[in-house]
A and B are shown apart, each in its own frame.
Chain A
Amino acid sequence: MIASCLRALLSHWRRNPVQLFAYLAGLALATALWSGVQAINSEARASYDAAAQTLGEGQFDLVIPRQGSSISVDHYVALRRAGWLVSPVLDGRLGDVRLVGIDPVTSPTGIGANTAQTSTGRPFDTVFANSETAALLDPAVTVTHDPSIAPGIAIGDIGVVQTLLQRDDLSRLILLEGQPLGQPDLATIAPALRIQPAQQVGDVAQLTDSFHLNLTAFGLLSFAVGLFIVHSTIGLAFEQRRGMIRTLRSLGVPLRLLITLITAEMMILALIGAGVGILLGYIIAAVLLPDVAATLRGLYGAEISGTLALRASWWASGLLLAVVGTGVALSSRIWQIAHMPLLASVKPRAWVIATASRFRLQSIGAIVLLGVALPIALIGDGLLAGFALLGCLLIGAALALPALAATLLTLLEKRTTAPVCGWFWADTRQQLPGLSLALMALMLAVSANIGVSTMVSSFRLTFVAFLDQRLAPELFLTVENAAQSAQLEAFLHERNLEVLPLLRTETTVAGLPVDLYGVRVGPTYRDSWAFLDAAPAAWDRVERGDAVVLNEQLARRAGLWVGDKVQLTPDLTMPIAAVVGDYGNPQGQVILSQTLFQTLQPDIYASQFGIRTDDAPALRAQIVDTLGIDDNAIISQAAIKALSLEVFEKTFVVTSALNILTLGVASFAILMSLLTLADLRVPQLAPVWALGLTRRHLGWLELLRAVLLAGLVFLCALPLGLALAWVLLSVINVEAFGWKLPMYLFPFEYLQLGGYALIAAVLAAMWPALRLMRTPPATLLRVFASER
């Protein structure tokens, strides 16, 4: 009995291959984007973990130079001889590889478990790297392969690394645990060094959290859209199988067995669909990973592996989500079967009436969610609240859509008198329940597109303007020591050029790690720096050493603003004259005059210079020739701008790729809904056809309906998308990066997007419409011959 029951159930799919395809493809799409994004995230996390494990970054206090990034070996030995237990690290780049030299005998972190097996007892001759990184290194370098070492990093003994990098200094010292008694002050042994507490080191995983949360949100969005497809397919499949179920039960199949069989059948299919999705996800992730890697390196300096490993964490989560999602969609249908009277008649009309109450439920849900969104927007705090707000807005609006559309259609129907028009509106309304999920999916995709593209474009405008104001000097130059710094100053002074020396050190302000900058206030600063907010004569006060400028990140994080006071050192508190937008990095900054800076940090000389000149190439050549400064130490404005924009563009490659993919998934959802509805609609279309409307006419009406519905969706998606953009710019960005961006509107782009949505809808409706135009009259006539 089981076998024949199963055969009967499966025959449904044989008769409706498109529906089977929709079910499998919906699941595959849902799982694909979700697991693809998760694959990228887990790869990145694994890379961060490996890096933390390999380098111990962030776990230990560090001793670092107050200026520059070089510590002499003599300083190291002097510290050790004074009872400071530190371990040296040399950090440099050799081509594409970050080369880290450690002293294995004092380092708190080891080289990796495999060392013991692979080494010949002479670890000092070799560097350790995973095979991917090893391939990037010069073949002349002896590499011991160790898969536990983070990607992009090669580690070796300091002696080996010094030789490879042709250096004889150190980059930083790790402060070890268990320092001895009676240790002298650091300032008395090595005044040029300072301690950087472990917790102040920006933990890469923490910094990149917001980026990964963004990806996850996209994955979840497309997962939701995919599940819409699954949900509606399951709904239709069960509607159509009511007759079969009635027959099977009348023939004596026990209800319990039937339910078990149906559940097993759907779950096995779900696993197949999800499996295909995971495969697709792997492909998506593999394609996107290089760009994600470039973004993370550009934004946060985080190295992640360029190759993808198959990790249980992401494929299992994809599979689990798919099964749970299907299970939820399935359970309500199973419940219906369980409670359906044995011989209940199967009328499509009954389905519509049943859904009237569903609309009401959805409307209530929408009101509740949108109602919750308001207080979150007003009082919510933190990245999670931001995403909760996004979720409430999107789901609330999606739930409101069918009820809104139904109301609109009823209104239109009442206002029309022409019979075909009246029928058209009524018929559209009647199709709404079947299409509603697909329409919601389209709306989510369109509004996500509007929101994200508004954010990216606004960001781009702001960023380019920011680059223009920040990169006003034509040349940028880095010097190596104080003598060179003074020499350069004198040289430029002779030529009467405007020089913008930059003094920099790291410190802690308001409990936050910040960069302290000393600047020489001049025409360039006064003319080109645009403040977000400023007190009158801000630059004059900064120049006199009476006030400081904060960047927006610091101001927001520390809860300070223009007019407040900020404590710079235990005995120096300064008023804030202005807050400046800073979109280059997530770090807080305090900007003060060169004179004030030098009284606070007398040992620090200007190591970076911006130079205003009309003839940059000539000046550059002169500086190289006269002062012997290396040409590599000079960067032109154009080069920096190009580099910055490149990083920026890469950052959003992934975002726009995901955007296009979600739009694709949504139009697929429409196609599948229309296709599965097509067969159901034959009994409804037959009378209209019999009254004289040709099949061609009916087909055109179908297309028109798709366009109208898509237009309606777009109209609803527009405000939703703008709300989304606002949340992204004013809530998420502030939390993730510390800056709030002005929102710009791009009507032309929105129109274009609307056009895409219409085209997507027409393309999706084309096939069902063509099929309708070609429906044999006999099929239509059969509707009158017998009831089902």
Chain B
Amino acid sequence: MNAKILILLILFPFSAVAQGFGGLGATADNFAMPTANPRFDFPADHGAHPDYRIEWWYLTANLRGPDGTDYGLQWTLFRTALAPGEAAGWQSPQIWFAHAAVTTKDQHFATERFARGGIGQAGVQASPFRAWIDEWALEGPDFNTMTLNATGPDFGYDMALKAEGPLVFQGDNGFSVKSAQGQASYYYSQPFFQIDGTLDLPTGKVAVTGTAWLDREWSSQPLSDQQSGWDWFSLSFADGSKLMGFQLRQTDDTRYTSSTWIDADGTTTPYGDGSFTATPLVETQVAGRDIPTGWRVTLPERGVDVAVNALNPNAWMDLSIPYWEGPVTVSGSHTGQGYLEMTGYE
């Protein structure tokens, strides 16, 4: 009964990202590598890139119920490849897995799915857009208009998404550098989704509405072996501007940071290592570890100096690969809300 070991083994590229397993992601075995100055080709690039080792379609949403209650929602489809390329049937080297979660102030529901490529159980098709695993799907006639669903043993949701702004390219026009050694990924987002739909919770169904943020990222060697985990922030401010910032924690206790300022019209300004800072203020004991659930986040170039606090400090994703992911509220120089993901806390 060592499914977990096995799964970790099979999924080690993702583990390398999530847990910072030193060295595992260091070689790229014939996988394609991201290069600077990418030229994206849409809608094809919304689909899968099987020549790269890892890829994800990562959606988070801040929602509000009719009574003003706040909710968070996550839907992520991951692809990881044992070898580059695609093959038919069970011979396919592609593995898919997905996470779904709903967070309330005092509850957190999370579930996961696994699938093999090549047999039709999971996959992503660029046009019309369809990303699916089992009965879960994110799909629509194009990337701007989509429906989203997921179910677990104790929760589910059914949502509709409409993009009200352009795609946003992170880093240098979508080439996002992850370390001083040059590890990088292709990374773009759609942070302008309006979302509404129904959450199915043990207490009953709730109609909700809010905003959603979809990240697309693929790479083959995203972390250097001196990096142990990351803290990733997607913040939406009251004035319509947005901030994506992350810091990669390195084993020598230094940080590598990167961020993108997004104006309300979708104009982006990237900031390299050192501009964006995130400092833990509040730690919470979650699943036997100390997790920072309150942060001071600054971006001096934009006058940002805010406190970021978890809506529910216990938003622990207790899955095969455990991590923290949940909605946050923003106060200070700017107000707003957003999502926080933290990996590699042992």
Contacts and interface: CB of A to CB of B under 8 A. Distances in A.
Interface of A: 53, 73-74, 76-77, 80-83, 85, 103-113, 115-116, 119, 121-124, 157-159, 162, 168, 178-182
Given A73-B89, A85-B134, A180-B153, A80 B2 contact: no
User: Chain A: interface secondary structure?
Assistant: loop
Nearest to B29: A121
B120 interface: yes
A104 B6 contact: yes
B2 A113 contact: yes
B116 interface: yes
Contacts of A83: 134-135, 151
B251 interface: no
Nearest to B132: A81
Contacts of B89: 73, 159, 162, 168
Contacts of B121: 76-77, 80-81
Interface in B1-52: 1-7, 9-10, 12
Interface of B: 1-7, 9-10, 12, 82-83, 89-91, 93, 95, 97, 111, 113-116, 119-121, 132, 134-135, 151-156, 200
The 6 closest A-B pairs by CB, nearest first: A159-B90, A110-B2, A180-B151, A83-B135, A105-B114, A110-B3
Contact of A116 (B6, B90, B115, B116): B6
A106 B114 contact: yes
Contacts of B119: 73, 76-77
B3 A116 contact: no
Contacts of A77: 119-121
B9 A181 contact: no
Contacts of A103: 90, 116
Residue among B89, B132, B134, B200 with the most chain A CB within 10 A? B134
26 contacts: A73-B89, A77-B121, A81-B134, A83-B134, A85-B134, A103-B116, A104-B10, A107-B3, A113-B2, A115-B2, A115-B5, A116-B5, A119-B9, A121-B82, A122-B82, A122-B83, A123-B6, A124-B82, A124-B93, A159-B91, A178-B153, A180-B151, A180-B153, A180-B156, A182-B156, A182-B200
Residue among B6, B97, B156 with the most chain A CB within 10 A? B6
Nearest to B152: A180
Contacts of B97: 105
User: Chain B: interface secondary structure?
Assistant: mixed
Nearest to B90: A159
Given A73-B119, A104-B7, A181 B200 contact: yes
Given A83-B134, A159-B89, A159-B91, A111 B153 contact: no
Nearest to B7: A105
Contact of A181 (B3, B115, B156): B156
Nearest to A103: B116
B82 A111 contact: no
Residue among B3, B4, B93 with the most chain A CB within 10 A? B3
A121 B95 CA distance: 13
Contacts of B10: 104-105, 123
Contacts of B90: 73, 103, 157-159, 162
Nearest to B112: A178
Nearest to B87: A159
Contacts of A85: 113, 134
Nearest to B155: A181
Contacts of A109: 1, 3
Nearest to A108: B3
Contacts of B5: 110, 113, 115-116
Contacts of A76: 119, 121
Contacts of A106: 114-116
A691 to B, nearest CB: 81
Given A159-B91, A180-B135, A105 B153 contact: no
A105 B115 contact: yes
Contacts of A105: 7, 10, 95, 97, 114-116
A111 B12 CA distance: 17
B225 to A, nearest CB: 16
A124 to B, nearest CB: 7
A105 B91 CA distance: 14
Contacts of B12: 121
Residue among B89, B90, B97, B116 with the most chain A CB within 10 A? B90
B2 A116 contact: yes
Contacts of A82: 135
A553 B119 CA distance: 44
Contacts of A115: 2, 5-6, 9
